[in-house]
Amino acid sequence: MAKQKKTKKAKGRPKKVESKKYNRMDASALYLKNLTKKVTVEKGIAGADALYVKAGGVSNLKEAAYSFHKAVKVFIVLGLLTVEKGVITRVQ
């Protein structure tokens, strides 16, 4: 009889868990769309992350910051937001 080889389980990154409603970019865009008052960038990142967690995702401020900054850039290009000295303001 032949010997059976022992197989090792592959160690890797844990699977990413995404919200069933939307992803981080969607959460950042939705947060910025509903922005009514001035907010700092740090509070905006925390707010977008909280919105993502509320939708069923896992909190990660580093990923939230990346998505939030990308969404802010798009909103600035569209002329919907301005950012001065770390404060985000919606254009009226």
46 band by pLDDT with thresholds 50, 70 and 90: very high
**Segments making up each domain of the chain, as ranges:** 24-90
- pLDDT tops 70 at residue 75: yes
| pLDDT (average), residues 56-73 | 94
CA 22 – CA 30 distance, rounded (Å): 10
Mean pLDDT for the chain overall? 87
Total-model pTM: 0.76
The CATH number fitting domain 24-90, selected from 3.30.70, 3.90.380, 1.10.10, 1.20.120: 1.10.10
> Taking a C-beta distance cutoff of 8 angstroms, is the pair 34, 75 a contact?
no
CA distance 80 to 53: 25
Does position 10 have pLDDT exceeding 90, yes or no? no
